[in-house]
Structure 1
Amino acid sequence: MKQVKNSGKPFGIELAFTSENVEKDFQNAIKARATEFESLTQKPWGQKVGYLLDNNDFLIEICSPMKSE
């Protein structure tokens, strides 16, 4: 696979993954050489969300599941 040159901006694609343990999975991704793009934050609706860039500069979202009411 051809590497995309790092321009400092995310590529035009976002992949999102839900996790029951967002903090652990976020740190595991960083240990696996992902780069933190936006740190984990708690959204007003209660969801935890963080963003990473993979080795091809694809934007990866790791978030907790949305709670249904």
Structure 2
Amino acid sequence: MIILTSAQADVVRGPTANNAYLEPRRISDDVYILPEEVLADPDHAVHHAFLASLPIGEVVFPEPEGV
């Protein structure tokens, strides 16, 4: 996952090309994520250089209770 701050998420959030849209997912107060696949999607090329400069890491979500 690409790791973004709130401010970085604000930079890329919104429409890109061909009716595509980036919507970083908030996982904590100032941490947002996007899948790494956006780096290979030509519809998001306008943000590729910026997103490639950000940290990439694994994000593990806990299992919901009672499952």
Q: Which has the higher helix share?
A: 2
Q: Which has the higher strand share?
A: 1
- TM above 0.5: no
TM-score between both structures, scaled by the size of structure 2? 0.29
TM-score between both structures, scaled by the size of structure 1? 0.28
